[in-house]
Amino acid sequence: MSIANTLLKPTLLKSEITASLIPNSLVSDIFGTQKNERTIFWTKNPRLSSRVTQVRSIREVRSSESKNIRTAVAPNISIPKETKVQVVITIRKKNKETLTEKIEGALQSLFNGFGKGMQIQLISEEIDPVSKSGKRLESSVGGWLSKQLEDANIAEYSTELMVPSDFGCPGAVLVTNLQPNEFYLMGIVVHASEGPLSFPANSWIQSRNVHPESRIIFRNQAYLPSQTPAGLKDLRREDLISVRGKEKGKRDHSERIYNYATYNDLGNPDKDDDLARPVLGGEKWPYPRRCRTGRAATNTDAYSESRVENPDPVYVPRDETFEESKQASFSSSRLKAKFHNLLPALTATVSGEKSFKCFTEIDKLYSDGILVKHDKNEAKIFEKLLLPVLINKIVKAGLGVLKYDIPAIISRDRFSWLRDNEFARQALAGVNPVNIERLKEFPILSKLDPAIYGPPESLITKELIEQELEITSVEQAIENNQLFIIDYHDILLPFVKKINDLPETKTYASRTVFYYTKSGVLKPIAIELSLPPTPSAPQNKRVYTHGHDSTSYWVWKLAKAHVCANDAGIHQLVNHWLRTHACTEPYIISTHRQLSSIHPIYKLLHPHMRYTLEINSIARQSLINAGGIIEECFMAGKYSMELSSAAYDSMWRFDMEGLPADLIRRGMAVEDPSMPCGVRLIIEDYPYAADGLLIWSAIKEWVEAFVAHFYSEPNSITSDIELKAWWDEIKNKGHHDKQSEPWWPKLQTKEDLSGILTTMIWVTSGQHAALNFGQYPFGGYVPNRPTQMRKLIPHEDDREYEEFMSDPQSTFLSSLPAQLQATKIMAAQDTLSTHSPDEEYLGKLHQFHWNWINDYQIRELLEKFSSRLVEIECIINVRNKNTRLKNRNGAGIPPYELLIPSSGPGVTGRGIPNSISI
């Protein structure tokens, strides 16, 4: 049996390979039993070494056994004498669906096989004394490797180079695409006698006919700017310049240019005056910046960018688009198709203004479904849509059944949503558990201008609260940390009149006060709903309490529904979209523009940037745009993004986005150095915070160890020119409208950097997961969490009051979103709550990204981080079985799983992806 065949059989024992005369050190390393950072694949037998290294290319890391094989090489390896090295290039072919694509794939294979498809230049880390840049060796790439690959969509090509003895260690490869079409380069492996050198790419390489410049692919070695080998300095600078591009001109979809723009593409004034929207980003409407696309201005408004409508894509840098593995199941095109084809079909089927007549009609969405009308040509489109929960089957061509799965919130207890304790529990363990605050002082006061918005005092008085408390005084309850509030008064009241002038939508500015009982249960005791003051009603507010008669009961239920609609709007527009999606985009743009791909912080952040620009571009096209799903189905209507801008202006602070700081700001925790994260929760049974602090502490430990490893010198932070430019650009360009705020953290020490990075990674992973993947489990049952209300609460002097008294259920149901709105938002929430099969979860790396860095110590730290997350998952599972924790355990209570790290695909209500990928 040959050595090569032996190494390719994972079932063989070490002894069998040892018997083939491979040195013990090499055998141990292949099986991952040695952990020396500088261990390399090396043997004194050149013939044997050649045969070993030739079979160790990128393809082998796809197998589960290879995940433990250590292939890193020491950064100072050089090639000792003139020798022949093999270079293996791995390409992922496109999934072929059309004849044209099949022909293109066949031509690409021929080009590559005969050496006409690409050229490479091997760049040394050492300077050429003549060119004053890295030494270079050039070769065409051709020839197929004979081994049959398991994945038919992956191809490998090779070339051989004679390397001089003084060449030094290869640090980069320049790739030139000679073909007419782009190809996806997974990576390059250079097989030298001392061991394989890995150059991971995972990038689209454009034809030189489109982009004449060769692509620079660096080795998987991390260097601070000051540590960059002399032969790579020019390439490091050139690569950064290439991704910055020019600030003018329209971006082509083949480009990978990162730059900034305002949110000036949400409206479509050329189509309709009513679709005009203000530009977000600037003094009037402050906002984070997005990735620039450079499209021409609209004909109607010179400051607004012309729109790209479905199904055409919006520009994002080429490598930010969904990979085909994601497109195959949950791609941008099919996500768009869902909104583009499914939602119009719902519109054609369901009356736009038809209310649910009874609760049974809502229940039928899960048991019987909706007959969705579409023609026969659309049948195949529906069948191809990824609707893992939403559509169970298409019963026949031309007529389909849209059948919703039962949301988790009613799967165990159909009537849980009716109860006050469930209403309150969701403030701590629901999909939006980040707005509840401890009530610190009394009376409750508004900060709005009283000349415009009336007296600042709330109508929730001390006497009213004490009446509900029965025994405890307000002062004692505040002192004992028993009073809490969700206060949307100041953020919403300036928008209420404009919103209520819209058809089919009505809202209030709400305040809700909760009491934490001695039995450990939170209960709502008062709701204040406010309208803008009028000459006849300068204090246009009403306070509602539970009451004990039937009329009070129904009014209280309507008041809670209005609070839920406010909560759903703030959740979607502020906490979910703004604080995670929009505020993260500048971090990603700056990281690409200012940090080289060989910068260690780039390598740390890269998994947390995956797909975010693409999903944000889809949101601008289909969700948050004028007339989009958010405007159509959520409480703020066409003023949704203006509300989001107002929240950014008045509420968003980077230094408060970290979990411990946010909990302290809201009074939900106090500083306690004896606790792992330095904080102690006021309410122990606060599932989001309790589980979140576990995730936060794990991220913090991983980040601090990573930073300490690379920044070991005293002044290494302040001397890092790329890092300084990165942080300055995030503040001054990405969050331009906040650049002068005094609360931005300094970046001078390892502790400063660790704190900044921990916050960023928490927001893109744990925070987003907690706010996103519960949308359908909680919002899929409309009465539990209406996103919009269509009627104000009737009062004695209203003409609707008599109808309410005679049929309160009808009044309640007709106040909820209409059937069409409800079914649309359920479809959108199902989409947004879905994990794709290629999801990368926190602490894990995609099988093709395994070789992101060759530093053994960092890999061990990552393994430690991953192991800690497994432990946290076990801790959360134990907590969910603890009968003492009533907010996550009890009759009909769903367990809190949104911060459990792992998940499978679909709507699972759990799982923390590395990045904001949906």
Q: What is the pLDDT of residues 755-765, one digit of tens each?
A: 999 999 999 99
Out of 235, 269, 302, a domain closes at 235
Q: Which two tokens stand for residue 45?
A: 């037998």
Most confident of 36-50, 251-265, 340-354: 251-265
Number of neighbouring beta carbons within 10 Å of residue 744? 18
**Contact call for residues 79 and 49 (beta carbons, < 8 A):** no
Residue showing tokens 């909760």: 514
Is residue 768 annotated as a catalytic residue, yes or no?
yes
- Cα dihedral 523/559/635/514 (nearest 10): -20
431 near 775, Cβ under 8 Å? yes
Asked which of 73-82, 261-270, 277-286, 432-441 is least confident by mean pLDDT, the reply is 73-82
**Structural domain includes residue 464:** yes
d(CA 741, CA 736): 10
Residue 154 appears among annotated catalytic residues: no
What digits encode the pLDDT tens for the residues 11-34? 333 333 233 333 333 333 323 333
Position 360 in a domain: no
What are the structure tokens assigned to 852, written together? 């992101």
Tell me, what CATH number does 525's domain have? 3.10.450.60
Kindly indicate the confidence band of residue 631, based on its pLDDT and cuts at 50, 70 and 90: very high
**Which pLDDT belongs to residue 148?**
54
| 119 contacts 95 by C-beta, under 8 angstroms | no
Q: How confident is the model at residue 268 (pLDDT cuts 50, 70, 90)?
A: very high
What are 872-906's pLDDT values in tens digits?
999 999 999 999 999 999 999 999 999 999 999 88
Give the end of a domain, one of 572, 588, 608: 572
- Burial profile 775-784: b = 16 or more Cβ within 10 angstroms, e = fewer: bbbbbbbbbb
**Is there a catalytic annotation at residue 374?**
no
Residue 212 domain-assigned? yes
The answer to whether position 320 is within a domain reads no
Q: Which of 489, 546, 768, 835 is catalytic?
A: 768
Q: What is the pLDDT of residue 757?
A: 98
Under DSSP, the state recorded for 448 is S
Our CA dihedral for 846, 851, 855, 856, rounded to 10 degrees, sits at 70
* pLDDT, mean of residues 778-800: 94
Query: Please, is 325 exposed, middle or buried when counting C-beta atoms within 10 Å of its C-beta (0-12, 13-18, 19+)?
Result: middle
Residue 835 per-residue DSSP state: B
Range 259-288 average pLDDT: 96
Evaluate if residue 524 carries a pLDDT over 60. Answer: yes
Return all residues near 755 (Cβ < 8 A) that are at least 6 apart: 658, 745
The Cα 862–Cα 850 span in angstroms is: 11
Among 616, 772, 854, 880, the active-site one is: 772
**pLDDT tens by residue, 562-596:** 999 999 999 999 999 999 999 999 999 999 999 99
156-168 confidence digits (pLDDT tens): 888 889 999 899 9
- Give percent of the chain above pLDDT 90: 68
At 352, the pLDDT band (50, 70, 90 cuts) reads low
Judge whether 370 and 349 are in contact, CB under 8 Å: yes
Q: How far is residue 757's CA from residue 749's CA, in Å, rounded to a whole number?
A: 13
The answer to whether residue 635 scores a pLDDT higher than 80 is yes
Check: CB of residue 229 under 8 Å from CB of residue 881.
no
> Is there a domain that residue 147 lies in?
yes
Going by pLDDT thresholds of 50, 70 and 90, the confidence category of residue 472 is confident
Q: Is 916 a catalytic residue?
A: no
CA distance 456 to 528: 13
Q: What is the 3-state secondary structure (H, E, C) of 641-657?
A: HHHHHHHHHHHCCHHHC
The single residue of 40, 499, 618, 918 carrying the catalytic annotation is 918
Q: Tens digit of pLDDT for each residue in 287-333?
A: 999 999 999 999 999 999 999 987 788 999 999 998 765 655 444 33
Residue 276 lies in a domain: no
Residue with tokens 């990045």: 915
3-state secondary structure of 90: strand
Number of domains in the chain: 2
Please state, as a whole number, how many other Cβ atoms lie within 10 Å of the Cβ of residue 814: 18
Euclidean distance between CA atoms 872 and 695, whole angstroms? 7
Question: Is 570 among the residues known to form the active site?
Answer: no
289 CB-near residues (< 8 Å, 6+ apart) = 260, 261, 262, 281, 585, 586, 589, 733, 734, 735, 736
Both tokens of 868, joined, read 């800690």
Give me the CATH number covering residue 131: 2.60.60.20
Single out the residue of 25, 828, 899, 791 nearest to residue 429, CA to CA: 899
Examine the pLDDT at 341 and tell me if it is beyond 70. Answer: no
- Domain edge (last residue) among 572, 597, 618: 572
Helix (H, G, I), strand (E, B) or coil at 189: strand
Residue 146 predicted with pLDDT over 80: no
Does the pLDDT value for residue 37 go beyond 50?
no
Catalytic residue among 489, 562, 571, 576: 576
Torsion region of 657: left, alpha or beta (phi above 0 gives left; psi -120 to 50 gives alpha): alpha
- Can you say how many angstroms the Cα of residue 396 is from the centroid of all Cα atoms in its chain? 36
Confidence band (pLDDT; 50, 70, 90) for 77? low
Is residue 859 situated within a structural domain?
no
Whether 585 is in a domain gets the answer no
Q: How big is the CA angle at 104 (ends 99 and 105), to the nearest 5 degrees?
A: 95
Please identify which of the residues 191, 211, 489, 581 carries the catalytic annotation.
Answer: 581
The boundaries of the domain holding residue 497 are 421-572
Average pLDDT over the chain, rounded to an integer = 85
pLDDT in tens, 732-770: 999 999 999 999 999 999 999 999 999 999 999 999 999
Name residues whose C-beta falls within 8 Å of residue 552's C-beta, 6 or more positions apart in sequence: 545, 546
DSSP readout, 493-554? HHHHHHHHTSTT----EEEEEEEE-TTS-EEEEEEEEE---BTTBSS-EEEE---SSHHHHH
